[in-house]
Structure formats: structure tokens, C-alpha cells
A and B are shown apart, each in its own frame.
Chain A
């Protein structure tokens, strides 16, 4: 399956046929830091993703704010 990552935008191939949470663990990404997008909707981390699926892991962090 294909995983789209951002900042910078890139794609990685990982084995499918397992839950999203296992994919996140393999990529060392905390669930709290991304939206998991498949097609035009979001999916929870207990969902299975197949070998032909494409998911986007969209980072949610923004920042660089002045601390004051």
C-alpha cells in the first residue's frame, strides 16, 4: 500500500493488510499528530487498510509562534 506524507510531500510503500495503528507504529508516527485520510474521508486507527489502498497521513502541527 502507498502512504502519502507531507512536509515535505513524499510517498512510501509499506505492507498492507493490517490496521492503520500498525502502519503508524512502523513509521514511528504518533496518532495524535496526524489525520488519516483515505479517499475523501478520514478513518480511525483501528481500520484495516488493504495492499492496494492509498492513505494520506496529514500532519496537524503548525507553529513557530512567538511564545508571548
Chain B
């Protein structure tokens, strides 16, 4: 198979684009997709202080790599979830990347902030591990960004992540979740930092290929709690559809963003308060993170 641009030996075929690329032309294709995402949703300005949430995986380290090469001012944030050897290895990947590129990395430890690591939170709450983990990640990335004066948080969510989330929301007709799904979430409160997903145009396979071809040392092993997660099941279904009809995931997500999402937007904004304990933003009196920390403290 030949590269569509230069005619050289291709290393990756992208059926949804009816194209194949060599190493250099794929890397350029990837960067162009990120530039297009940033431009279309006005995600980042040159003067922004960007906090990149990194997990040690292909997506977040690949994102950090592109943003650095594009000249943005970035700092990494690694949240140590305390998930056994998986967290030890993923943290070391982030530290090695930051050291190699000579860029700052902030490390925040969930066990210190919540009172226990994710495996204990899972046992205490009796909810799926991704639930307490996701809540802690959203809360802590925002708080760290506020405390350090970052203007925007960038995450490595890719096209497959976004399509799987949309699929889950549609399967349950979570109409309140649909308008919140966007490649760029504006700040709707002085204590909520803007969030952007510059990889939303790129599939999981494309982000993996970019990380491999750029020789980024990322953690290939899955989180031990991911097995059996609903989002994985949704990704598998979508990949079957993609195999039968290349472009299915792209059309599902982009069609929603371009044509369906506006129909679910609310006219009235939800009233936002500040948590009585920590001061972070919540729709109630006490935020979900403080409630979780209380629950953990009672049990541990």
C-alpha cells in the first residue's frame, strides 16, 4: 500500500479517509487534525497557560507532544489514582516524558485528596470504579488548574471515547448529558476552568499510531478496572460497525455535533453554587467530591 501524499511505503491505512500514509505524512496529517480541532472550536490561544491532564497512555502523552511541538505553553498534571502497579508504571511514563521534553509536571495523589486510593473508593462506594475515578479526575484537574492559574485544561479524549460516550448517552436517552458533550466546554462560572479535547477528530488507532511513530514511551497495558466497563463494550460495538462501514464512528459523532446537539441545549442555565466546604462549583450545597470524601472517611 502506498502513501497517498508521497507514494512511498505506507505504514497505516485509514479506511474512513480512503487513504494510507507513510510515517512523515501521517504525523503531518495528525497535526493538521489537531490544528483543525483547535481552530474550529477556538480551543487555545497563543497566550493560554494550558494544563494537560496526562495518564501515561497514548492519548494524553500524544496530545502533550503535539501541543509542545505547536508551541503552546503547557504543564502536565498526573493524578496518581493508587491503582497498584498500573499507577506506578503510568506515573513513571509521565515523569520520563516530562523529563525528556524538559517540561513541568504536577503530581496530585487521589489517596491524599479523597482519603483513599481508587481501589478502596470502589469498595466503599460499591459503584463501578470508573465512577469515583472520573469524579475525582474532573474535580482535581479543575481545582489544580484554578490554584495554579491555568486558563484551560486539555484532555486526551479521542474520537472513539467521544463516540462511545455519545452512544451510552443515546442508549439511555440521557438528554441532560447530550448538551454537555462537546470538544470544548466553556467556563460557565469563575471557578470552572475551560476544558478542551483537541484529539476529538482522531480515532484511537490514529492516536496509538502517532504515539508509536513518535517513539513516545506510553503504557500499553489497560487499567485493571477497565475490563468489563460499559464504555469498552460500547467501543467494541462501534468498532464492529466501523469494520462494516468505514466512517461510521466519525459520522455518528460529527453528525451529532453539527446537527443534533443544538436541539438538546437548554435555554435556561442550571444555577451553580459554591460548595459549602471546599468552595468548588456544584449544583447543590455540598459538591459530589466532598460527599465522596465523607463516605470514604466514614468507612476507612
User: Which A residues fall within an 8 A CB radius of B?
Assistant: 6-7, 30-35, 37, 41-47, 58-68
C-alpha gap A67/B230 in the complex (Å): 9
- Contact present for A41 and B129 (CB under 8 Å): no
Nearest Cβ distance between residue B209 and chain A, in whole angstroms?
6
Complex interface bits, B160-204 against A, C-beta within 8 A gives 1, otherwise 0: 110011001100000001001000000000000000000000011
Nearest Cβ distance between residue B73 and chain A, in whole angstroms?
27
Number of A-B residue pairs having CB atoms within 8 Å of each other in the complex: 111
- Contact present for A30 and B129 (CB under 8 Å): no
Answer whether residue B243 sits at the interface, using C-beta atoms and an 8 A cutoff.
yes
Pick from B11, B133, B160, B204: contact of A42, CB under 8 Å: B11
- Contact present for A64 and B135 (CB under 8 Å): no
- Contact present for A61 and B169 (CB under 8 Å): no
C-alpha gap A42/B133 in the complex (Å): 33
Q: How many residues of B contact A (CB 8 A)?
A: 51
Query: Which residues from chain A contact B131 at a C-beta distance below 8 Å?
Result: 66
C-alpha gap A66/B20 in the complex (Å): 33
- Contact present for A44 and B20 (CB under 8 Å): yes
Query: Which residues from chain B contact A58 at a C-beta distance below 8 Å?
Result: 208, 212, 220
C-alpha gap A68/B155 in the complex (Å): 14
Query: Which residues from chain B contact A61 at a C-beta distance below 8 Å?
Result: 160, 204, 222, 232, 235
Give the dominant DSSP class at A's interface. loop
- Contact present for A44 and B133 (CB under 8 Å): no
Nearest Cβ distance between residue A46 and chain B, in whole angstroms?
5
Q: In the complex, which residue of chain B has the Cβ closest to the Cβ of A33? A: B239
Complex interface bits, B240-264 against A, C-beta within 8 A gives 1, otherwise 0: 1011000000000000000000000
C-alpha gap A37/B165 in the complex (Å): 29
- Contact present for B243 and A35 (CB under 8 Å): no
Pick from B20, B165, B205, B225: contact of A60, CB under 8 Å: B205
C-alpha gap A27/B229 in the complex (Å): 23
Answer whether residue B44 sits at the interface, using C-beta atoms and an 8 A cutoff.
no
Pick from B13, B58, B222: contact of A64, CB under 8 Å: B222
Answer whether residue B221 sits at the interface, using C-beta atoms and an 8 A cutoff.
yes
- Contact present for B213 and A42 (CB under 8 Å): yes
C-alpha gap A68/B11 in the complex (Å): 35
- Contact present for A66 and B239 (CB under 8 Å): no
- Contact present for A63 and B161 (CB under 8 Å): yes
C-alpha gap A46/B9 in the complex (Å): 12
Q: In the complex, which residue of chain B has the Cβ closest to the Cβ of A46? A: B1
Pick from B135, B164, B239: contact of A30, CB under 8 Å: B239
- Contact present for A63 and B11 (CB under 8 Å): no
C-alpha gap A34/B12 in the complex (Å): 11
